[in-house]
Amino acid sequence: MRLAAALLPVALALSACTPPGVEDKSTYLGLDCAQPFEAQAAALAAQPKLDPAPVETAEPYRFYSSVDGGTSYLITQASAPAHPAIMMQKAGGGTVVTTGCRYGSQKAYDELLAYLEGLKTWTRKGSQ
């Protein structure tokens, strides 16, 4: 459940439109699963105009989102069941598309992907 709480802001940011007055013409890197995990994770995290989420010591993931909320990355840490893996979500036109690179367990990666996809429709009880 802690992961849901940590990922919800990412999912909400991705589903939101660009904030008024914010025009971000930046181009963010796509995923290249032929790159080694460490190299790709470092390149993604080093992009300008990415807002890293605060480190949550209880969660085995790092999150980075574009200023306009249109692109987000999830990079697994060593303690994550799906590690090593990188997920990317792109928002636009009212949809969020999730893609990723699996470097480890297919089963754990599939579970992480299903979880992220499920967050797109998650709502807090009583907020409907």
Residue-number span of the structural domain to which 81 is assigned: 2-15+34-119
Q: Is residue 29 part of a domain?
A: no
Q: Is residue 94 part of a domain?
A: yes
42 Cβ contact partners less than 8 Å away, ≥ 6 residues apart = none
- Unique residue bearing structure tokens 């940011």: 13
- pLDDT of 27-75, one tens digit each? 899 999 999 999 999 999 999 999 999 988 888 999 999 988 899 999 9
Q: Is residue 26 part of a domain?
A: no
Q: Is residue 23 part of a domain?
A: no
Note the pTM of the prediction, 2 decimals.
Answer: 0.76
Of the two residues 87 and 10, the one the predictor is more confident about is 87
The total domain count for the chain is 1
Query: Which among 59, 71, 106 has a CA at the least distance from the CA of 85?
Result: 106
Residue 78 class from Cβ within 10 Å (0-12 exposed, 13-18 middle, 19+ buried)?
A: exposed
